[in-house]
Structure 1
Amino acid sequence: MTLVLLTAVTAWAQNGKIIGKVSDKTFNEPIAGLPVIIKGSQKVAPTSVDGRYEFNLAPGTYTLEFKYISYKTKTISEVEVKADKVTELNVVLDDAATELGEVVVSSTYKKETVNALYSLQKNNISISDGISAEIIKKTPDKTTSDVLKRVSGTSVQDNKFVIVRGLNDRYNVTTLNNSLMLSTEPDRKAFSFDAIPSNLVESVMINKTASPDMPGDFAGGIVQITTKDIPDENFITLNIGTGFNSQSTFKPFKGSQKGKLDWLTIEDGTRSLPSSIPSKITYADYTNEQRYQFGRDLQNDWAVLDQGKGMPTSALQFTLGNNKKFKNNTILGSIFSLSYRYQENITETHRDDYDNTGQVFSYDDQQFKYSSALGGILNFAYNYKGNKISFKNFYNRTLDNSHTDRSGWNKDGKDNAVLANSDYTTPKTFLSSQIEGEHLVGEKRIKLDWNLNYTNANRSEPDLRRILYSKDLEKVDDPSVPYTAGIGGSPSPNYGGKFYSDLKDNVYGGNGFISVPFTFLKEKSLLKFGYMGYYKQRDFSSRVLAYYTSLQFENDLLALPQDQIFNDENIRPGGFQLGELNNGTYKYNAVAYLNAAYFMFDNNLSKKIRLVWGLRTEAYSQNLKTRTPDNLREEDFDFSKFDLLPSANLTFKVNDKSNARVAYSRTVSRPEFRETSPFSFYDFSIATTVYGNPNLISTNINNVDLKYEWYPSAGQVLSISGFYKGFNNPVEQIVVPGLSGVNRTRSYENVDKAVNYGIEAEVRKDLTFISKADWARNLIVFANAALINSKVDVLDATGKAIGDRPLQGQSPYLVNAGLQFSALESSLNMSLMYNRIGRRINEVGVPGEYEDVYENSRDVIDFQVSKKLFKNNAELKLTASDLLNQKTTLYQDINKNKSFDNSDNVIGSSVFGRSFSLAFAYTFK
C-alpha cells in the first residue's frame, strides 16, 4: 500500500499544468462556465467566474478545445506540458457568425498566446497606458513610484507623487485592487506610491479618460494598482539584497538619539511626551516653578551625535503562494508576502531666497536620513460554481528620521551668520483591507460585482526639534564672538521648539455594479449600473512646545552649545522656562461623504464601431471643525456639491491591429482636508510656513481626447494621442504676498480658469524589421514622449490680466526611453532606461513681488542586468540608478528665457548620489 501511494505521489509530482483565462474579445470580459476540453480524452475543466481554468497533466503535447454557445469554437494545438512546470494559455473567443453554422477556428499555442495579448491591449474601454509585472521585472524599479516613471505621459515628483500629463499630483486618483485610495499625506492631496514594493504589483494601469464606472474626482489620470492574487502554482520565494550610494554609504553619518526599535519601524516611546507634561500648558493654570519643572521633564535630546558610517541598504522579502484545487473545479488560492527595507542617505542641498531688496538668505544643508519599511500583502480568493470571493489586504509601515544641519547667513533684521538644525521622525502606517465578490447569475449571464473596503492611515511626528544659532555676519571669523541661540521672551517653534502631531484617517467604503448583456443592432452590448460610496474621518492634533527666556535672564546661557543649553540646571529663574503655543488651529476634525451612482452602455454599433457612454452622479459633502487662532470659539467649514458627470468613449476598429479613439468627459477635483484647514506649519526643509484656505471650492474639468494605436505584434505598440482640458476654478499652491523671504509663507487658492493640452506618442518594438537574427528578436526599443502646454491668466492686485503662465506642476514635455534585451536561451536580461521632464513651476509667485519658482530639467539614466540561475529557479540582479547624478535645481527665471542659466536666482539645489544594488532571489516550487 505504501509503495502504491508513493508511486502515485511521485507520478503527480512529475505532472505539469496548463493554466489560463478565457476572455470575450468584444468586451475583454472573462467567460465563465465554458467547458475546456482536452481532445482525445475525457478531461474537462469548466472556467470559473473570472474565466480561469486548470489542468494537471502528464508531460506531453495536447490539443485543447474551447466551445461555447454564441462563440466561435476554437482549437489550440501544440500545447506542451513539461514535468513540474506551468504552461500558461490565455484564450480570446470571438462572436459566432449568426448566419452560419458552427465556425471552428484552429490555432497553435504560440499564435494564441500572441492573440490574447493583443486583445488585452486593444479592448480597454478608455484611453489608457500601463505596465505589466513582466516589464516591471526588467526595470531597476524598487517601488511603484519608480515604475510609474516608465508609463507614457507620466512623471514622479519627490520620488513618490505621480504627475500625469504634466498635471499636479492633486489631479490624480488611485485605486488599489478596485478600492479608492484617498490621500496618504497630511500636507497635500496625493497618494505616496513609494509605500508599495514593485515586486508585489501585478499590473499598473493609468486611465486617462473617464467612463461612468470610474471615480469622477480626477483630471490627470486614475492610477489602478493590482497586487498579486491567485498564483498559477505553489511556490516560496526568498529575496535578499543590498545597496550602495556614492554620496552616503560609508560616509560619516550624524543624527540624534534613536529608539531601540527604529530599525523595525517601531517608535518605542523614546520621543514621546513624558506623562508628567499636562495636556495644555497655560500661564494662568500653572506656577512659574511648575513650568520650570515641565521644562526639566521634557527630554533633553538636543545633542547631535556621530553615528559612525552610513550603512549599505538592506532588503529582504519572503513570498508564499498557494493554489489548491478541490472537487467540482473549485479553487482556493492565496499569496502572502512580507518585505523589509532599511537605508541611510545623505543629501547635499543649497538654499537661497530673494525679495525686492535682493537676497535674504543663503543656506547650505546636509540632510542625514534613515528609513526603515516593513510591509506585506495577504490575499485569498475562492472560485466556485460561477462565483469568486476574494479577501485582499495590504499593510505598510515606515519610520523615517531626518536630521538636517544648516549653515549660512540671513537678513533677519540684520546680516546674521547662521548655524541651525532640525530633527524629525515620522512613523507611518497604512492598511487597506477589502472583501469582494464576483457572481454570474442566471442563463442570461448577468454579472454582479461588489466590494467592501476599509482603509486606515496613521502618521505621527513625535519630538520634531528646531534650533537656530546666529551672530553678526561681520564677526563670523572672530572666535571671540560666540554664536548665540535665537531664543527670546516668548515661545517660538523655530527657536528651541518641539512639535508633536498625530494624524489618523479612517475610510469606510463600498461599491457594487450589475452588468447585463443584451443585443443591439444585432451586435453584443452591455448595460452596467452601480454605486460607490465612502465615509472618511480624519482626526488631527498637534502641540507646539518651546523654551523661552524668563525674567532677569542670564544672557550667557544663549552661548551654550545645544547639547548643554537645556540642561536641568539652566531651566530656572534667570534661565529658561517651557511654554506652549495654544493656537486653536493646531487641531482639527473632519469628515467627508461621497455617494455616487452611474449607468453605462457599452454598445457595439457595428463590427468596427464601439461606443461606451453614460452618466455618473456624485454627491459630496465635507465638514471640518477647528477653533479660531485665539482658541476662544469653534469654527465649522462646510462644503457640499452635487455633480453630473457625463462621458463617452468611441472606438473605431481600423483593422485587426489598430484602433482610432475619441473621448469626452466631465470630471471634478475637490479640495482635500489639509488644503482647507487653516492650520499653519513651518517646514524647516524649505524654510517656508504652509497653511490651508477654508474658502476653496471644487474644480470642474471638461476633457477631450483623441488616440490612434497600432499593435504590430504581442507586446509591441505604436500610438499617438492628443488631449485638451478646460479647468474652472483650479486649485494651486501659491506664495502669500507681502511677506519677506525669511518669513516666506504658502497657501492655496482657486484661480479663475486654465487650459491644458498636448500630444503623446509611444513606441515599443523589437528590431526584427532590421534583421531576423535572434539578437534583433530579443532586443526591444521603447520610448514615450509628451509635449504639453497649459495656460493660467496672471492677475494683478486689481484683478486685471497682465499675462499668463503654466499650471503649477505642469511640465512642457516628458521623455521616457530605453533598451531591453532578453535572451531566453541564456536567461539573461538587460535594461537601459532614460527619463527627463521639462521644467515645471514648483511655487506660484506673486506678480511684481516674487517670481515663480521652477524645477529645472534633469537627465536620469538607470541600468539593470539580471541572470537566471539553477535551472531558472534563482535570479541575480545588478542595478545602477541615477548614473548621471545631476542636480535637482529650483530657480527663478529672472531673464525670462525659459531655461536655467547663471543670471537666474537659485532657490534650491540638491544632489542625491549614484545608487547601486545587488539582489538575489530563489524560488522553491
Structure 2
Amino acid sequence: MGRFQLISVLVAVSSTALAQEGSGLRGRLTDAKTGEPLLVCPVSVIAGGNITVDTDLEGNYELALPPGKYDVRFWCDQYEGVDVKNVQVAQGFMTRDIALKPVEGAFVEEVVVIGTVDTKSESGLLLQRKMANTVQDSIGSEQISRSPDSNAGDAVKRVTSATVVGRNVFLRGLGGRYAATVVNGVSLPSTDPDGHQAPLDLFPNALLSTLTVQKTYSAEMGGAFAGGVLGIETNSYPATFQTQVKLSLGANSESTFHSRRSYAGGSLDALGFDDGSRGLPESVPEDRPLTTRDPQAEQVSESFSNVWSSRKSAGLPNGSLNVSVGNTHQWSGGRAFGYLASATFSRSAAATNADVQTFRIDDQDLIPKDIYSSEFGATNTNLGVLLNAGYQLDALNDVSMLALFSRSTEDSAQVLQGFSDTDGADFDATRLKFSERMLSFNQLRGTHRFGADSSVVLRWQGNVSVTQAEEPDTRDLMYLEDEGVRRFRQAANSGERFFSHLQDTSGGASATVSLPVGPAEFKVGGSAQLSKRSFDARRFAFMFVGEDPALLALPAEELFGAENIGPSVLAEERTFVTDRYDGNQALYAGFVNAELPLMERLRATAGVRLEVFSQRLESGSPFAQGQVPEATRRTTVNPLPALNLVYAVTDKANLRAGYSFTVARPQFREIAPFLYYDAIRRRSVSGNPDLVSSRIHNADLRWEWFPTENEVFSVGGFYKRFLDPIEQVVVSSIQGDVGYRNADRADALGLELEGRASLGRVSEALRSLRVGANLSLISSRVKLGSQQQISTSESRPLQGQSPYVANVNVGYLQESWGTEVTLLYNVFGRRISEVGFNRLPDTYERSFHRVDLTLTQRLSEDLRLKLTGTNLLNQSAVFQQLGTDVFRYRPGLTATAQVEWTLR
C-alpha cells in the first residue's frame, strides 16, 4: 500500500470514528449543468478547523465535526469553487448538497459534455428541473424503459397534466394550437393537412433521450405558447463504445390470431411500403379534369385497380427490432468525436369492433337516427433512423450534427353495417385506405466560447426539415338494401377514389449570445424560420351511365369489371377547387433575456421577445370547376414579455412564480376565405380571413421540494386568460360543417400535485420500493358570445380538456437479482370529443382507466429480458351523449416480450 493510499485510509477511519460520535456535515457534490456526481473532489474546512475529505465515486462526502461554527470550501478541478460561511453544526449530522458550475471553456467540462452527460436518468432530470429558471416537468429514457410505452405519444401521458387525444398531446387541458411540439428546440410541422402538431407516434422510444414539458414561458422560446411546449430531445452518443440490439414480440387480445378486416393490397404491404399499385394511373390526364365525355374515359376507368371489397384474415403478432451503435473518441489537444447511429422498425396489427349510434333531438330526448356496427382492421408500421455526431475542435469550440428520419404507415380496411335514417334502409359501407407519414429532420449546432475567462458563449443552430403525408387511392363504397336486394348507392362517398399528397419544407437558423454583466447574465438572440407547404388532391367517382339498373345489384368487383367499364360505368373527376393549395409562412424573432440575482436566495429571469409573423395562402385546382379564390396574406407583430422568479426556500426547496403574455396564431386553412373538404372527417370547413391571433395571459405558482436526488414533492397552480380564442364552431345543422371564429374569451384554472419517493422512508424493509404519483385538476370555460352560431352551448369546457388526470406508479428494484418490476396506472376525466350543434348535446369521451405492468430481468451482464402488459383491466373506450353510448370499442390487452443485448 502506497503512502497516499495509507493516508487516505487513516483519514477515512478517523472520519468514520468521529461520525459514530454523531455530528458533522455530509452531502453530495454534483455538476450544476449535468447533475453528474463529482468524484475525488476536496471538501475542506477553512475556518473553525483544519480537515479535508474527498468525495467518493458517487460524489458523496462526510465531514465529521464537533458542534460549532465553520466555513467550508467545496472545490473541484475545472469547476468554480463555493465557500459556505457560518455553517452551524449542532449535535447530529446536517446535509448540504452542492452543485458546482463548470468553468466555461475548461477541457474537463467539454469532455463531460461530449462523453458522459446523462440527462436521461431520473436524478439528472430532477437536478435540471431544480436548477431551471422556468416551471417544467420531464421524463427520461430511464423512466420510459420502466414502462411498456412504445413511442413519444405513449410516454408523454406519464407527465403531470399531459394527455394524448388521438396522435396529439394536450398540455394542461389545451391541445391543437395551444400545445406546441419542438424537436431539439425546433418546431416541426404537422403531417395532417388541417393539423397543428407533429404526430407523436412518429417518434419511437428507441430514438428518445428526454421529453420535457415547459410550463412557463421565457423569452428564449417561441411565442406561440399557451398550455405548454413539449420538447423532444433525441439520443446522444455514449461515453464509451456500445452496441445494442432490442428484439420484441407481442400479442393483442383483439387482433392477434383473430379474424379482422383487410384487403388485397400491394406486394410490399407487410413492410409498410406501397409497391406502386395504389398510384394514380398514368393514363389519367394531367392537363384537364376527367369527364365521362372524355375520349380516354374508358381507358382511364379500366386502369384503376379493381379492388373494392374487404376480406377477413388473422392478425399476426406484433414485433419490433432496434439496433444502435455509438462511441466517443478522445485525442490530445482537447479534441473529441462522438457518434450514435440507431435504426428501429416495428409492425403491429389492430382490430376494432365498435357499436355506433347517431341521434337527432326531439324536445329534450335523443331519438336514434343511424345505428350500425363498425369492423376495423389495420396494420401499422414504423421505421425510424437517427444519426447523431459531434466533434470538439478544442476546449472552447464544438459542433454537432443530427439527422432524423421517421416514417409510419397505416394500411386499413373498415366495414360499416346497419340502418341509415337518411336513406331509410339498411346499408353496408367499405373504406380501404393506405396512409403514409414521413418526417426528415436535419440540424447542425455549434457552441463557441470567447473572452479572457471564456465567459461569453455563442450558440447557434441551422435546420432543414421535410414532412410528407400520402394517401394513395382511398376507396369508399356503399350499398343499400332495397326490397331485399343489395344495390350500389350512387352518391357522394360511394364508388369514389381519393389521392392526396402533402409536403411541408421548413428551414431556419438561430443564434444566442450569453454574457455576464456583473452578477447578472444576459442572453441576446435572434432566429428566422421559413416554411412552404403544398397540398394536392384528386377525387374520382365511378358513375353508372348504363341503362340496366339490375347491374347495380352486382358485387363491386363485377359492377366495375372490364366488361361493364364503358357501356355502363365510367370514372369522372370530382376534385374540389380547394383540393390544391400552396402556402408560405415566415417567423422572424429577436429577444433579450436577463437572469438577475435579486437576493441571496432569490433570482429573477426577465425578458421580452419580438416576433414578426407572416402568412400567404393561394388555392385553386386546375382539375375542378369553380372560381379560384383570391390569395390570403397577413402579417402580425407581437411583443411578448415574460418574468420568472425562483426563491430557494432551502437548499432543497424552491418557490416559483411566473407571468407571461403569449400568442396563438391561426393556421393556413383557418384563414382561407373559402370552403374546403376535410377528407379525414368527411365534412366541409370554412376559413375566416377575419380571424385574429389569440392573446394569452399566463400565471403560475409552484412549490417544489427535492429531499434526495431521486425524490420530489411539488404543489402548483396556474391560471390562463384567453383573449379572442380561436374556436371551431358548427355552421351547418345538416352535415355538421364547421368554421372558425374568435370567441369572446376563455379561462383555464388548474392545480398540479406530484410526489416521488422511496418507501425506505417508512421502513428499511421497504427500501426497494418506490412510489410516484401526480394529479392535475383543471377547469376551463369558453364563452362563445356572439360567435355561437348554431352550437348548442354558448359556454362550455374546452374541447378535449379533461377535468382531472392522474398517474400512479409503484416500482420494485432488487439490484442483486437484476430484477425490476413497475406497475403503472393512468386515468383521465371525461372530456368533450365532439362539440354539439343544433341543440344536440356535446359528445363526451368517458374516463378510461389504464393499468400497465413491466418486469425487467437481467439474464447476464449483457442480456436483459423485459415483459410488459398494457390495459390489464381490458377497459373499453366509450363515447356518450346525455349518458347514452354513441360509440364503444375495446382496444384490448397487449402483452410483449423484449430481449435486449448490449455489447460494451
Superposition TM-score, scaled by structure 2 size: 0.85
Amino acid at match of 1:446: V
Q: 1:68 to 1:269 in 2, by over 3 A?
A: closer
Conservation of the 8 A alpha-carbon contact between 1:262 and 1:399: no
Is 1:720 the counterpart of 2:715? The answer is yes
Q: Distance in 2 between matches of 1:174 and 1:73?
A: 41
Is 1:754 the counterpart of 2:743? The answer is no
Listed as ranges, the matches of 1:73-88 within 5 Å are: none
Q: Which residue of 1 aligns with 2:390?
A: 381
Conservation of the 8 A alpha-carbon contact between 1:735 and 1:843: no
Conservation of the 8 A alpha-carbon contact between 2:260 and 2:375: no
Corresponding residue SS for 1:738: coil
Q: Which residue of 2 aligns with 1:403?
A: 413
Residue 121 (structure 1) aligned to one of 126, 129, 137: 129
Q: Distance in 1 between matches of 2:79 and 2:383?
A: 49
Is 1:292 the counterpart of 2:298? The answer is yes
Q: Which residue of 2 aligns with 1:208?
A: 215
Q: Distance in 1 between matches of 2:332 and 2:40?
A: 17
Residue 527 (structure 2) aligned to one of 516, 525, 532: 532
Q: Give per-residue Cα distances to partners, 1:65-121, cap 9 Å, x unaligned.
A: 7235852389xxxxxxxxxxxxxxx9831699xxxxxxxxxxxxxxxx999776423
Residue 181 (structure 1) aligned to one of 185, 188, 193: 188
Q: Which residue of 2 aligns with 1:874?
A: 863
Q: Distance in 2 between matches of 1:611 and 1:649?
A: 6
Amino acid at match of 2:316: M
Is 1:335 the counterpart of 2:328? The answer is no
Is 1:591 the counterpart of 2:597? The answer is no
Residue 139 (structure 1) aligned to one of 144, 147, 155: 147
Is 1:305 the counterpart of 2:311? The answer is yes
Q: 1:410 to 1:692 in 2, by over 3 A?
A: farther
Q: Which residue of 2 aligns with 1:420?
A: 429
Q: Distance in 2 between matches of 1:611 and 1:374?
A: 44
Q: Distance in 1 between matches of 2:899 and 2:787?
A: 60
Q: 1:691 to 1:780 in 2, by over 3 A?
A: farther
Cα offset, 1:448, TM superposition: 0.3
Amino acid at match of 2:803: P
Q: 1:29 to 1:922 in 2, by over 3 A?
A: closer
Conservation of the 8 A alpha-carbon contact between 1:830 and 1:866: yes
Q: Which residue of 2 aligns with 1:648?
A: 643
Q: 1:693 to 1:403 in 2, by over 3 A?
A: farther
Corresponding residue SS for 1:292: helix
Listed as ranges, the matches of 1:490-509 within 5 Å are: 492=492, 494-509=493-508
Residue 681 (structure 1) aligned to one of 677, 692, 695: 677
Q: 1:417 to 1:115 in 2, by over 3 A?
A: closer
Q: Distance in 1 between matches of 2:625 and 2:721?
A: 41
Residue 130 (structure 1) aligned to one of 129, 138, 143: 138
Is 1:662 the counterpart of 2:662? The answer is no
Listed as ranges, the matches of 1:535-574 within 5 Å are: 535-550=530-545, 553-573=547-567
Q: Give per-residue Cα distances to partners, 1:854-895, cap 9 Å, x unaligned.
A: 111111111110111212x111000000112222222223xx
Cα offset, 1:639, TM superposition: 2.4
Conservation of the 8 A alpha-carbon contact between 2:474 and 2:499: yes
Q: 1:24 to 1:577 in 2, by over 3 A?
A: same
Q: Give per-residue Cα distances to partners, 1:183-224, cap 9 Å, x unaligned.
A: 232232122111111132111110100000011102011111
Residue 149 (structure 1) aligned to one of 132, 157, 167: 157
Q: Which residue of 2 aligns with 1:581?
A: 574
Is 1:485 the counterpart of 2:474? The answer is no
Q: Which residue of 1 aligns with 2:512?
A: 513
Conservation of the 8 A alpha-carbon contact between 2:802 and 2:831: yes
Q: 1:511 to 1:714 in 2, by over 3 A?
A: same
Cα offset, 1:692, TM superposition: 4.5
Corresponding residue SS for 2:670: helix
Conservation of the 8 A alpha-carbon contact between 1:37 and 1:65: no
Amino acid at match of 1:484: R
Cα offset, 1:615, TM superposition: 0.2
Q: Distance in 1 between matches of 2:98 and 2:402?
A: 26
Q: Distance in 1 between matches of 2:471 and 2:812?
A: 45
The sequence identity of aligned pairs, in percent, is 29
Listed as ranges, the matches of 1:327-366 within 5 Å are: 327-356=332-361, 358-366=367-375
Amino acid at match of 1:765: A
Is 1:745 the counterpart of 2:741? The answer is no
Listed as ranges, the matches of 1:770-789 within 5 Å are: 770-773=762-765, 776-789=766-779
Residue 239 (structure 1) aligned to one of 246, 252, 260: 246
Conservation of the 8 A alpha-carbon contact between 1:171 and 1:220: yes
Q: Which residue of 2 aligns with 1:614?
A: 607
Q: Which residue of 1 aligns with 2:377?
A: 368
Q: 1:327 to 1:94 in 2, by over 3 A?
A: closer
Q: Which residue of 2 aligns with 1:101?
A: none
Structure 1 unaligned regions, length at least 5: 1-20, 40-54, 56-63, 75-89, 97-112, 476-480, 894-903
Q: Distance in 1 between matches of 2:413 and 2:845?
A: 24
Conservation of the 8 A alpha-carbon contact between 1:687 and 1:744: no
Cα offset, 1:798, TM superposition: 8.4
Cα offset, 1:254, TM superposition: 3.0
Corresponding residue SS for 2:448: strand
Q: Which residue of 2 aligns with 1:107?
A: none
Residue 666 (structure 2) aligned to one of 665, 671, 688: 671
Corresponding residue SS for 1:495: coil
Q: 1:37 to 1:849 in 2, by over 3 A?
A: closer
Q: Report the number of matched residues.
A: 808
- Per mean C-alpha deviation after superposition, the further-off stretch among 719-728 and 266-275 is 266-275
Q: Distance in 2 between matches of 1:22 and 1:512?
A: 32
Q: Which residue of 1 aligns with 2:270?
A: 263
Is 1:226 the counterpart of 2:233? The answer is yes
Q: Which residue of 2 aligns with 1:45?
A: none
Listed as ranges, the matches of 1:716-865 within 5 Å are: 716-739=711-734, 743-773=735-765, 776-795=766-785, 804-846=795-837, 848-865=838-855
Corresponding residue SS for 1:815: strand
Q: Which residue of 1 aligns with 2:894?
A: 915
Q: Give per-residue Cα distances to partners, 1:10-54, cap 9 Å, x unaligned.
A: xxxxxxxxxxx99774xx4899xxx99899xxxxxxxxxxxxxxx
Q: Which residue of 2 aligns with 1:47?
A: none
Q: Which residue of 2 aligns with 1:892?
A: 881
Q: Distance in 1 between matches of 2:263 and 2:669?
A: 29
Q: 1:37 to 1:812 in 2, by over 3 A?
A: closer
Cα offset, 1:689, TM superposition: 4.8
Q: Which residue of 2 aligns with 1:603?
A: 596
Conservation of the 8 A alpha-carbon contact between 1:835 and 1:861: yes
Q: Give per-residue Cα distances to partners, 1:578-636, cap 9 Å, x unaligned.
A: 11124211110001000011000001112200100010111100111013984333421
Q: 1:796 to 1:856 in 2, by over 3 A?
A: farther
Q: Distance in 2 between matches of 1:637 and 1:116?
A: 48
Q: 1:334 to 1:115 in 2, by over 3 A?
A: closer
Conservation of the 8 A alpha-carbon contact between 1:72 and 1:94: no
Q: 1:170 to 1:115 in 2, by over 3 A?
A: closer
- Per mean C-alpha deviation after superposition, the further-off stretch among 421-430 and 672-681 is 672-681
Q: Distance in 1 between matches of 2:122 and 2:724?
A: 46
Cα offset, 1:305, TM superposition: 3.3
Cα offset, 1:359, TM superposition: 2.6
Q: Distance in 1 between matches of 2:896 and 2:223?
A: 40
Is 1:324 the counterpart of 2:333? The answer is no
Conservation of the 8 A alpha-carbon contact between 1:587 and 1:679: no
Amino acid at match of 2:146: K
Amino acid at match of 2:391: Y
Cα offset, 1:746, TM superposition: 3.4
Amino acid at match of 1:749: R
Q: Which residue of 2 aligns with 1:471?
A: 481
Cα offset, 1:683, TM superposition: 4.9
